[in-house]
Chains A and B, each alone.
Chain A
C-alpha cells in the first residue's frame, strides 16, 4: 500500500473513529457506516490534515476509499 493510502486511512480513523482494518481500498461509505454528510466532513479533514482541497463535484464522483486515495495522489502530485 502507498504512503498516501496510509495517510488517507489515518484521516478516516481520526475523523470517524473507524477501525483501520475496515478502511480498505474497495470499501464504500455505506460499508463504513458513513453517510453523505460524512463525505463533506472527510473533505474538510483532508484539507486540514493533508492540505488537499477536494471540490463538491469531485466528491460526488467518489464511491470507494480507493477513489479518494487516487484523488489525493493526483492532487499531491500536482502540488509538488
Chain B
C-alpha cells in the first residue's frame, strides 16, 4: 500500500503587502529586501482570517481537485496555531462538513509539509485511513515582530492542501521514499521564546506582564541557519534520490521550501540542478512555512508548468532544526489558481 497524491489546493489571504508597503513603517526598502531574500510581496491575514479559515479554504479546494466529498482523516501542519489548545484540525474537519473523522495538528515549522506528508502517508500505509486531507496552514505573520526589519519582510501567510488516497507504488502520484531528520541542539537558532510551558513555568506567579515584548515574537539567527539549511536540504535531497534510484539529471522540478531565494538557489547549485528546473514563487508569497511547498506545487500545476509524468523532488528545512525530502512522479490532477 502506498499513499498517492490525488488532489491539490491553495489559498492566500487577500491582503497583499509589497516591500514598498513594508518600508513605510520599517527602516528597509524594496531593493534591500529583494536582493537579500528574493521577495517582492507577501500576503498577510487581516479581518479575522487565521490559520483555521485559511486551512478550510485550501482544504475545500484540494477536495474539489480530488473530486471527493469525504475523507477518513484530516491532518493540519502549522506553527501558527489558532490557539495553544486545542488543535485546529478537528474544527477544520467540522467546518468542511467531514463529521467526526480523525483529526490532529502537527508542528514542524518549515519542514511541516514533509513531516505531514510522511505522517499522512503512514495513516494510509498502516490501514488506519484510505483517504487523508493534509493541509499546511499558516498565519505566521502574527508571530513575527513587524518592527524587526530582519524577520518582518521574510514571512507570509497562506495554506496549501493535498488529498492522499490508498494506491500502488508504481502509479503516478505515489509518494516515494522519505528522508526526515532533526537537530534539536540547534533549536535556539529559530524560536519564539514566550507563550509555551517553559516560559510560563519560569514566570510562575509573576504574570505575563514581566515577559519582554520581543519574546512573544520570532527570533532568528540568519547566518548559521543559512549554512544549515543548504547543507541539510542538499543531503536530504540526495538521500531520497538515492533511495528512489533517481539520478539528479532525471529530476524535472525541484520544489524546495521557499525560505529565501538564496537558499533555494544554493541547494540547487549544490545538487547541480539547472535553474530552469527550480520552482520558485517566493517573490509573490514569501516564506509561508508548512504552506510553502504545496502553494508552490499549486502555482506550477495550475498554470501547466508542472505536468503529469514529470519527476518532482520535494525538500524542506526549518526550525527544530528539522528537515525532510521525498519524490513523486506528478499525477494527472487539476489545480485551481490561488486567488
From residue A12, how far is it (CB to closest CB) to chain B in Å? 15
Q: Is A41's CB within 8 Å of the partner chain B?
A: yes
Chain A residues, CB < 8 A from B128:
none
From residue B126, how far is it (CB to closest CB) to chain A in Å? 42
Complex alpha-carbon distance, A44 and B266, angstroms: 9
Complex alpha-carbon distance, A44 and B268, angstroms: 13
From residue B228, how far is it (CB to closest CB) to chain A in Å? 11
Which residues B216-234 have CB closer than 8 A to chain A? 222-223, 226-227
Residue pair B227, A40 in contact (C-beta under 8 Å): yes
Complex alpha-carbon distance, A36 and B36, angstroms: 10
Complex alpha-carbon distance, A41 and B227, angstroms: 9
Q: Is A1's CB within 8 Å of the partner chain B?
A: no
Q: Which residue of A lies closest to B35 (CB)?
A: A33
Chain A residues, CB < 8 A from B223:
36-37, 40
Complex alpha-carbon distance, A20 and B227, angstroms: 27
Q: Which residue of B lies closest to A35 (CB)?
A: B36
Complex alpha-carbon distance, A35 and B223, angstroms: 10
Given A36-B222, A36-B223, decide whether A41 and B36 contact each other with a Cβ distance below 8 A. Answer: no
Chain A contact surface mostly: helix
Chain A residues, CB < 8 A from B266:
41, 44
Q: Is B262's CB within 8 Å of the partner chain A?
A: yes
Complex alpha-carbon distance, A33 and B36, angstroms: 10
From residue A2, how far is it (CB to closest CB) to chain B in Å? 28
From residue B225, how far is it (CB to closest CB) to chain A in Å? 10
Which residues A32-68 have CB closer than 8 A to chain B? 33, 35-37, 40-41, 44, 56
Q: Which residue of A lies closest to B225 (CB)?
A: A37
Complex alpha-carbon distance, A3 and B81, angstroms: 56
Which residues A14-35 have CB closer than 8 A to chain B? 33, 35
Residue pair B262, A41 in contact (C-beta under 8 Å): yes
Chain B residues, CB < 8 A from A40:
223, 226-227
Complex alpha-carbon distance, A23 and B54, angstroms: 48
What is the interface of chain A, defined by CB distance below 8 A to chain B? 33, 35-37, 40-41, 44, 56
Q: What are 17 A-B residue pairs whose CB atoms fall within 8 Å in the complex?
A: A33-B35, A35-B36, A36-B222, A36-B223, A37-B36, A37-B222, A37-B223, A37-B226, A37-B262, A40-B223, A40-B226, A40-B227, A41-B262, A41-B266, A44-B266, A44-B269, A56-B227
What is the interface of chain B, defined by CB distance below 8 A to chain A? 35-36, 222-223, 226-227, 262, 266, 269
For the complex of A and B, the 3 pairs showing the least CB-CB separation, nearest first, are A36-B223, A37-B226, A40-B226
